[in-house]
Amino acid sequence: MVRLLITAIILVSFSKGGDIYHQNCVNCHKIYGPSLKKLFFDYLLVYSSERRVKKALFEYMKNPDPKKSLMPKEYIRQNGVKKPSKLSDEALKKAIDSYWNRYKVIGKIK
Ligand code: HEC
């Protein structure tokens, strides 16, 4: 019964979609991370298309590589890169989708 309840709670919190993005990405970035908004546009400038931005984000979160980082070199030299994401591939994809939907400009410009 307890297990069922916990599963239900987890399912409900995950099905809210954007919540993984807020609980994971936003919560940490508020404290340690640089501006998610600024980073989004840095990624958009470099990778241009939705598919390529999402792919680059996914790969960086899985395996943060100082050579691929778009952060200022000085920042990386002082702080290093972050740890690989603990999210499952599925959850990470959802978080990135929410991130994209939050800041995408395509479709908003009329
Ligand atoms: C535990 C804290 C933490 C979590 C969770 C986290 N980040 Fe970060 N993130 C950081 C820090 C610190 C940096 C700067 C260091 C770096 O670039 O590796 C960073 C860098 C980034 C960058 C720039 C990468 C680069 O260097 O080019 C992006 C984009 C980003 N985060 C997006 C996200 C998204 C999307 C999520 C959720 C899936 C997320 N972050 C989750 C702490 C976090």
The string of pLDDT tens digits covering residues 55-73 is 999 999 999 999 999 999 9
Ligand 1, atom 15: closest residue by C-alpha:
81
Q: What are the CA-CA distances from residue 21 to residues 36, 52, 57, 59 (Å)? A: 11, 19, 13, 16
- Containing structural domain, residue 44: 18-103
- Residue 22: pLDDT band (50, 70, 90) is very high
State the Cα–Cα distance between residues 8 and 29, nearest whole angstrom.
Answer: 28
Ligand 1, atom 22: closest residue by C-alpha:
39
Provide the token pair at 52. 């390529």
- Ligand 1 near 46 CB (within 6 A): no
Counting ligand 1 atoms within 8 A of each CB, the residue from 23, 26, 63, 82 with the most, and so the one to mutate, is: 82
Nearest atom in ligand 1 to 70's CA: 27
pLDDT value at position 3? 82
Is there a domain that residue 92 lies in? yes
- Ligand 1 near 20 CB (within 6 A): no
What percentage of the chain exceeds 90 in pLDDT? 75
- Ligand 1 near 44 CB (within 6 A): no
Structural domains of the chain, count = 1
Average pLDDT, the chain: 89
Minimal CA–CA distance to 87: which of 36, 25, 18? 25
Is there a domain that residue 84 lies in? yes
pLDDT value at position 18? 65
- Residue 16: pLDDT band (50, 70, 90) is low
Is there a domain that residue 78 lies in? yes
pLDDT at 91 over 80: yes
pLDDT at 105 over 90: no
Q: What is the mean pLDDT of residues 82-100?
A: 97
Angle in degrees, CA 100, 69, 16, rounded to 5: 25
Q: What is the DSSP letter of 16?
A: T
